[in-house]
Amino acid sequence: MATVVNNPPADRSDGNGMGFLLGMIVLVVVLALFFFYGLPMLRQTSAPSAPSEVQVEVPDQINIDVEPAE
């Protein structure tokens, strides 16, 4: 009768959680960017802006006499 030997599979846990650590760092960076840039932009667009009137003062008379250069 033949003897069958089943070798155990190779242990592939060489990463030691490095992928998880990098994923968490990327997640923290994305969340920080969202809080610093995304939330203020969302709050600005959702808040109604107060009507602002621009006042431009124009004089009654404008001197348009131009002397030609020599």
pLDDT at 47 exceeding the cut of 60: no
Mean pLDDT for 41-57 is 75
Question: Is pLDDT of 55 > 60?
Answer: yes
Q: Which pair of tokens denotes residue 17?
A: 């959680």
In 1-70 the beta strands, taken as DSSP E runs, fall at: none
Amino acid at 58: V
- pLDDT greater than 70 at residue 30: yes
Residue 40: pLDDT above 90?
A: no
CA-CA distance, 30 to 42, in Å (whole number)?
16
CA distance 21 to 27: 10
Give the pLDDT score at 33: 93
pLDDT at site 13? 63
